[in-house]
Chains A and B, each alone.
Chain A
């Protein structure tokens, strides 16, 4: 069974500073990896995804993530955060075998932006 670990429950950064949110996954085969963002009272919005190919993937809102198989990681980065980036961020892994196509989420990282 797959699993995801997001070691940071809460991160605070200054507006304009760089950001890295950590994500480690466990899955026996090549994973399908995702980052979703959730603003308070809202649903889940897809930021980016990785299936294969280039290990550095670009997403919406200036986010990117790098897949590192050797470290079982898929960390999310942004070079300069904006106040509107304050939200909860979820890393997720999806199984590729029939009967195991569910999306398994990490516990989330809450991002606070200070002026």
Chain B
């Protein structure tokens, strides 16, 4: 089975530009998570969805960030306008509520964003 798929893997953009990160969760998973990793703050949850509905977005840093999940197989994280302090690795992850999955959260390879 394919794992969590993220795109782009690497992006360099100029300050003020819009950035869109994409994620395809593992098929059949009903939870989707967006995490950000930085040297200063470590791994922090931005938002998570259950059955395409946002459950907890308290980690979204400010109005410049938005996330959507229009269907069970696709999610986006958008930053508009981007700033240099947004430079980080953004991970998408997914999991299933089913007992046989063991409540494990599986991570994608990450999108490495640099804003100059």
**Co-assembled chains A and B:** yes
Footprint of B on A, CB under 8 Å? 32, 34, 36, 42-46, 49, 51, 90, 94, 96, 99-108
Taking the nearest CB of chain A, how far is it from the CB of B31, in angstroms? Answer: 7
Given contacts A94-B103, A105-B43, contact A99 B56 (CB under 8 A): yes
B contact residues, range = 20 to 34
Among the listed B42, B55, B107, B109, which residue makes an inter-chain contact with A107, where contact means beta carbons less than 8 Å apart?
B42
- Whether B19 is near chain A, meaning CB under 8 Å from some CB there, is no
A46 to B48 CA separation, bound complex (whole angstroms):
19
Verify A49–B104 contact, CB threshold 8 A: yes
Given contacts A99-B55, A102-B48, A105-B42, contact A94 B109 (CB under 8 A): no
Verify B43–A102 contact, CB threshold 8 A: no
Starting from the known contacts A43-B109, A103-B93, 12 additional A-B residue pairs (CB-CB under 8 Å) come to A34-B104, A43-B91, A44-B107, A96-B103, A100-B56, A101-B48, A101-B50, A102-B45, A103-B45, A105-B43, A107-B42, A108-B42
Verify A43–B107 contact, CB threshold 8 A: yes
Chain A contacts of B55 at CB under 8 A? 99, 101
Verify A43–B110 contact, CB threshold 8 A: yes
A100 to B31 CA separation, bound complex (whole angstroms):
12
